[in-house]
């Protein structure tokens, strides 16, 4: 029952978010600040994780191919497929549910418990528009961060491959060009857009509607992380079934 109630409240929140928009001069500032906090502030960790996980995928693939009949370029091919299809869009989004998500829940939740949201409402400001809308818009740039992640993941694979001596640079480059299907990239970016929306709105929902004090802010962040991840995983399944299945 509370699940149903929460789902209903979530969609009402989304509708409310577009009503009574905040002055553009103010909104622009908010969007720029959120781009800085949520996107620019995440590039470092996305780059770091992508590069090294890309490397690990390559090493694992290379080590598992001990059949001499399988061509060496397959290592590059497998790395490219894993990074573009799953690792960069989905895996990174789960990590972002922890980083960006808990930041959003705790910052909005703190505003709730310290009555800053009431202060906005008293001034006749639509607090959902003021708080959630700019985050949603900022996260529409999230696919760019993921593109960086894809690039660095493949680059990390290349570094691991060449420096680890698993195959030659030429083989790896041949591999990452083999059977390239541009629809896979489109599929990955469609996923990423959907995940970006989830990453902005579910943590906002748990922050905005929380009640209590500092302890509850922490609990709300955890709950938000769990549900954001669950929804991302489920949507990943649904979107993959629809677009590739």
Partner 1 sequence: MIEVKDLHKSFGDAHILKGITTSFDKGKTNLIIGQSGSGKTVFLKCLLGLFEYEAGTISYDGKIFSNLSESEKRDLRAEIGMVFQGSALFDSMTIAENVMFPLQMFTKMSKSEMEDRADFVLKRVNLPEAHNKMPSEASGGMQKRVAIARAIVNNPKYLFCDEPNSGLDPKTAIVIDNLIQEITDEYQITTVINSHDMNSVMEIGEKIVFLKNGLKAWEGSNKTIFKTDNASVTDFVYSSNLFKKVRKMYIEENE
In the complex, the residues that contact partner 1 under the rule CB under 8 A are 23, 25-26, 33, 110, 114-116, 118-119, 121-125
Residue 28 or 233: the one with the smaller Cβ distance to partner 1 is: 28
Q: Which of 206, 230, 193 is nearest to 94 (CA)?
A: 230
* Residue 61 buriedness (CB in 10 A; 0-12 / 13-18 / 19+): buried
Residue 164 or 213: the one with the smaller Cβ distance to partner 1 is: 213
Least distance from partner 1 to the Cβ atom of residue 130, Å: 10
Element containing residue 102 per DSSP (H, E) = helix 92-113
Residue 118 or 181: the one with the smaller Cβ distance to partner 1 is: 118
Residue 215 half-sphere exposure, CB side, CA atoms within 13 Å?
1
Q: How far apart are CA 58 and CA 63, in angstroms?
A: 9
Residue 86 or 121: the one with the smaller Cβ distance to partner 1 is: 121
Least distance from partner 1 to the Cβ atom of residue 116, Å: 5
Least distance from partner 1 to the Cβ atom of residue 228, Å: 23
Q: How far apart are CA 30 and CA 238, in angstroms?
A: 33
* Longest CA pairwise span in the chain (Å): 72
Residue 34 or 171: the one with the smaller Cβ distance to partner 1 is: 34
Cα 13 from chain centroid (whole Å): 21
Least distance from partner 1 to the Cβ atom of residue 122, Å: 5
Least distance from partner 1 to the Cβ atom of residue 197, Å: 23
């Amino acid at each position: 029952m509370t699940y149903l109630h929460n789902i209903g409240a979530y969609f009402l929140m989304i509708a409310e978010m577009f009503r009574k928009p905040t002055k553009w001069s103010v909104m622009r500032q908010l969007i720029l600040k959120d781009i800085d906090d949520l996107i620019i502030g995440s590039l470092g960790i996305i780059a770091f994780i992508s590069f090294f996980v890309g490397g690990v995928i390559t090493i694992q693939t290379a080590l598992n191919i001990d059949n001499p009949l399988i061509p060496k370029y397959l290592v590059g091919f497998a790395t490219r497929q894993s990074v573009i299809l799953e690792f960069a869009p989905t895996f990174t989004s789960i990590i972002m549910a922890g980083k960006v998500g808990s930041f959003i829940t705790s910052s909005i939740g703190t505003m709730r418990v310290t009555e800053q949201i009431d202060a906005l409402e008293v001034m006749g400001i639509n607090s959902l528009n003021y708080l959630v809308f700019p985050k949603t818009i900022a996260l529409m740039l999230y696919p760019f961060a993921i593109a960086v992640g894809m690039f660095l993941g493949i680059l990390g694979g290349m570094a691991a491959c060449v420096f680890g001596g698993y195959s030659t640079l030429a083989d790896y480059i041949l591999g990452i060009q083999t059977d390239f299907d541009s629809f896979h990239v489109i599929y990955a970016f469609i996923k990423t857009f959907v995940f970006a929306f989830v990453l902005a709105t579910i943590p906002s929902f748990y922050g905005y509607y929380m009640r209590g004090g500092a302890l509850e802010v922490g609990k709300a962040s955890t709950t938000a992380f769990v549900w954001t991840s669950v929804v991302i995983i489920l949507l990943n399944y649904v979107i993959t079934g629809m677009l590739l299945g």
